[in-house]
Amino acid sequence: MKISLTKKRLIFVIITFIGIGIGLLSMWNTLVQGQVVFGSSDEVPWNILIVAYVFLALMASGMCLVSTFGHALGFQRFGVISKRSLYLAISVLLPALLVLAMDLGRIDRVFYFITSPNLTAPMWWMGATYGIYVIVLLVEFFAVQTKNHRIIKVTSYITLCGAIAATSILGGIFAVVIQRPLWFGGATSVFFVLSALITGIAMLLIATIVTYKVVQQEMSYKLKEVLDYLGKALAILLAVALGFHAWRLITLFYVSSADFQLVLNGEYSILFWGGVISLGLIIPILLLMKNRTGYKLVLAGVFVLIGMFVDKYITIIGGQIVQMSGEVASYSATLTEWGIIIGGIAASVFIYMLGVYKFSLDDPGDKHSNVENLTPSSQKVG
Amino acid sequence: MGKNYAMTIDLHKCVGCAACSVVCKNENNTDIGMNWSHHIINVSGKFPNVKYEYIPTLCNHCEDAPCVKACPVKAMYKDENGLTLHDADKCIGCKSCMASCPYGVISFNKKDPHQYWTEQTALVEGMTASPKEVSEIAGEKLPYYNPEREYNYEGMRYRGIVEKCQLCDHRLARDEQPYCVSRCPAEARYVGDLNDPNDPIHELLGKYGHKKLREDLGTKPKVFYLREF
């Protein structure tokens, strides 16, 4: 597919480059001045970069999982979206890892991950799994590009396991910290996998629909059908997430910790009830209930992404601010932190645009499958 | 068998003067705002029935230290004497230890410490030397600091890594008490070996009731607070 660079598209590309520029400047600022440019402190050691990394890494894992529906699990219906999904996962994950790296005090010493591994540390396992996972993802995409079906099959099984392992280990970093009620417990890891699917599907819906709009192409019937399925699946997953939140609140109610008060009716209550629960879960569920048009899917997707980001913010930052002494510390993100995040997101958008331009992310067999020659599937669910 | 160091702090003797915090800074060259030896102040009740608690805090050198488990590169480790120590040369600055420490006693170096000595303005222009000049003439990055700390740890830690109380392991290595212990005017502190049945620490622990911070977490902290009010 040849895409010409019209004036409108050029403006979009320029905005992306400005975003990347802001990111590079912020990174330079961090590397020169050190982490004095961050809002984190000894009381709140992990800042919004960690929030953004978790959010983006989960998103990538979610999209990787969707790509394996077609590649590994044999849901052929999802084949039309596998390649785009896989490429999106790569384009989100690579900048996300860069965002994380900026929060390391001594990035030059990361080789100690190999020479001095600590197998009891979830952080080490996260590094190891993400390291392998990224490489296999790249190999899988290369195989898809060269149409090597054997390698696609093998690598997609590995990335399926990798996505779930990496995501739940990422949750494990938080889940093992017993003194932080918003973090502790195996449910955190499980919720991270659920969050990954939710954010991944939401992003995939937005990216696919917006891309077709921008390149002014008509979607095939198969693709429309898959997007509709994904919208329905998203609604179900959101309902599960709602249940998870309910149970988390109920268990915290019995513990009655200061952290719980922050979420229920304290500092984070507006963000939680407004951002996470209403905007991020209930409104998208209502939007996705029926008549899932492209516009509604994108709108619901955007709300879900905002809600999930705020959710990770409350979990990670809110989980740290209550101190042992009972004092509540404060944290606010600095411009440099936001700059790095904007740069990361812009880089993802840029890598994705490059993919749309260079690699033809549509399923090649999808071109001719119009509604006329498609028999209604007996496998249709629901 | 190695030693198993533990500290007792007698809260009846402690007067809350914070000398421990001040001398710790002298001994370990910590920067402004960074306190290996710190304190919690709890004020509760309503006048005239007010309760004021001053609880000195430091690394608890937990037997089951969460920071040691959480560090991905083994920069936090348990030594043969039961101390929880930090290896400045290995630390990658990921802050996992800080997030996992229940006591909040690990600090991160956001910048190189003691930047006062890079300032170029003199206190009295034309009369006194600027900090930078002093530093240059002395040929040291930091002219006034305690070089003893360099015996087995980075003398002054640098940007991008964490740091925490090492229980003055350089002093313990030559059978001296940690500096906060030896300089406490009320003699409230003592560091002893739990593995040595003849060590006075057993007498202290046997004689007085004692508690530890957040024992419920199962970290087995080794700072014992004697005689609570």
How many domains does chain B fold into?
Answer: 1
The CATH number for B11's domain is 3.30.70.20
Q: What is the DSSP string of A345-376?
A: HHHHHHHHHHHHHHT--S-GGGTT--STT-PP
DSSP string of A187-252, one letter each residue? HHHHHHHHHHHHHHHHHHHHHHHHHHHHTT-PPPHHHHHHHHHHHHHHHHHHHHHHHHHHHHHHHH
- DSSP class of B148: G
Domain containing residue B213: 5-226
Inter-chain touch B107–A42, beta carbons under 8 Å: yes
Of A135, A151, A231, A251, give the one whose Cα is nearest residue A191.
Answer: A251
Overall fold of domain A31-364: Formate dehydrogenase/DMSO reductase fold (1.20.1630)
Tokens of A352: 């994705």
What's the pLDDT score for residue B142? 81
Note the Cα B33 to chain centre separation in Å: 13
| Beta bridge partner(s), residue B54 | B41
Touching B: A residues 34-73, CB under 8 Å: 34-36, 38, 40, 42-43, 45-46
Query: How far is it, in rounded angstroms, from Cα A59 to Cα A27?
Result: 22
CA distance B147 to B155: 6
Query: What is the value of ipTM here, to two decimals?
Result: 0.92
Q: Which residues of B touch A326 (CB under 8 A)?
A: 42
Interchain proximity A104–B102, CB inside 8 Å: no
Q: Please name the residues in contact with A308: beta carbons below 8 A apart, sequence gap of 6 or more.
A: A55, A58, A195, A198, A199, A202, A280
pTM recorded for the entire structure: 0.93
Residues of chain A contacting B95 with CB distance shorter than 8 Å: 40, 45-46, 103, 105
pLDDT at A382: 39
- Residues of chain A neighbouring B99 (CB-CB closer than 8 A): 45-46, 173, 177, 180, 320
Rounded to an integer, what distance in angstroms lies between the CA atom of residue B45 and that of residue A47?
35
Query: A122-145 vs A149-175: helix axis angle to the nearest 10?
Result: 160
Hey, how many other C-beta atoms are within 10 angstroms of the C-beta on A31? 11
Cβ distance A145 to A359 under 8 Å?
yes
The one-letter amino acid code at B135 reads: S
Ranges A75-84, B36-45, B215-224: which has the least confidence = A75-84
The partner residue sitting opposite B100, judged by closest CB among A106, A177, A324, is A177
Residue by residue, pLDDT tens for chain A (382 residues) are 567 778 888 998 999 999 999 999 999 999 999 999 999 999 999 999 999 999 999 999 999 999 998 888 878 888 889 999 999 999 999 999 999 999 999 999 999 999 999 999 999 999 999 999 999 999 999 999 998 889 999 999 999 999 999 999 999 999 999 999 999 999 999 999 999 999 999 999 999 999 999 888 888 899 999 999 999 999 999 999 999 999 988 888 887 788 888 998 889 999 999 999 999 999 999 999 988 888 999 999 999 999 999 999 999 999 999 998 888 999 999 999 999 999 999 999 999 999 998 888 776 554 444 444 444 444 444 3
Give the nearest chain A residue to B218 (CA atoms). A178
Give me the residues paired with residue B56 across strands. Answer: B39
CA gap A127, A314 in Å, rounded: 24
Is the separation of the CB atoms in A81 and A223 below 8 Å?
A: yes
Q: Which of A92, A56, A102, A103 is nearest to A312 (CA)?
A: A56
Query: What pLDDT was estimated at residue A370?
Result: 47
